[in-house]
């Protein structure tokens, strides 16, 4: 069984491998694991997932960071999605209980992490403010949000493949993201460092909040690196999971 993993950002890809992965290219990091760096957003993620399937992936993982929609979550906490809800409020449910239980049991045994399972929401853009996060939580009942997992889940669904979302919390519910982050993200889903630095030059008061976000992101990366050490076991053939959408 070949596992295909989609990561949106190079900063998330480095938690899986020391190899430099070009955007849109598939990298083999072990005998049975393929990784692709997609760029941010659902469109990029869906394209990447489809490429993994064409190259032989028989199960898919969405890997990376997420924003908390639960006030109790801290940076570095782990969310394993039990279901998803897309930006149009359409539910995507997985019959992946075996894989989910297997992953939780393995990580509870071999990693000291706070692990949560629940609904993961999709956003078409970065959710910047704490108010927007709170409204999204109320509207969806989700515990976390990202921009790619639903698209990858739908790709898995269309091919009848198992799917698992592994997301570490990068920004808590009560954090407003620096506007520099949205400004630096281009239409292709890439963070342009020059745009980020230019924004900071004109808005230096954003620097403290950007530093705080960096510390939170580092906590999420630490969690992902812990999980990466268990990937061979987490992705071992062990289930007959299928995905269905309602």
pLDDT tens digits, 190-212: 666 777 778 777 878 777 877 88
Residue 59 lies in a domain: yes
Task: Find where tokens 């982050």 sit.
Answer: 181
pTM equals 0.88
Residue 53's domain comprises 3-175+214-245
Residue 28 lies in a domain: yes
User: Residue 78: which H helix or E strand, with range?
Assistant: strand 78-85
Residue 191 lies in a domain: no
- Number of structural domains the chain divides into: 1
CATH number, domain containing residue 221:
3.40.50.1580
What per-residue confidence (pLDDT) applies to 84? 95
Residue 106 lies in a domain: yes
Go through 185-210 and write b for each residue having 16 or more CB atoms within 10 A of its CB, e for each that does not. Answer: beeebbeeeeebeebbeeeeebeebb
Position 220 confidence tier, pLDDT thresholds 50, 70, 90: very high
Residue 87 lies in a domain: yes
Residue 209 lies in a domain: no
């Amino acid at each position: 069984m070949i596992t295909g993993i989609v990561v949106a950002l190079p900063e998330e890809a480095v938690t899986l491998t020391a190899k430099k992965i070009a955007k849109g290219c598939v990298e083999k990091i072990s005998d049975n694991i393929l990784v692709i760096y997609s760029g941010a957003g659902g469109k990029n993620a869906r394209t990447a997932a489809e490429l993994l399937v064409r190259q032989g992936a028989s199960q898919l993982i969405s890997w990376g960071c997420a924003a908390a929609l639960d006030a109790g979550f801290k940076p570095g906490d782990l969310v394993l999605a039990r279901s998803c809800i897309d930006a149009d409020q359409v539910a995507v449910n997985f019959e992946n209980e075996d894989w989910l239980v297997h992953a939780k049991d393995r990580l509870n045994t071999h990693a000291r992490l706070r692990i949560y399972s629940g609904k993961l929401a999709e956003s078409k853009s970065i959710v910047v403010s704490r108010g927007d996060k709170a409204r999204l939580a109320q509207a969806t009942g989700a515990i976390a949000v990202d921009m790619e997992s639903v698209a990858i889940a739908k790709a898995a669904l269309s091919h009848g493949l198992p799917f698992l979302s592994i997301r570490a919390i990068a920004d808590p519910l009560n954090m407003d993201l620096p506007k520099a982050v949205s400004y630096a993200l281009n239409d292709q889903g890439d963070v342009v460092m020059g745009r980020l630095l230019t924004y900071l030059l004109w808005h230096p008061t954003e620097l403290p909040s950007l530093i705080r976000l960096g510390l939170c992101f580092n906590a999420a990366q630490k969690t992902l690196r812990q999980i990466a050490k268990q990937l061979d076991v987490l992705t071992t053939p062990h289930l007959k999971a299928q995905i269905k959408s309602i």
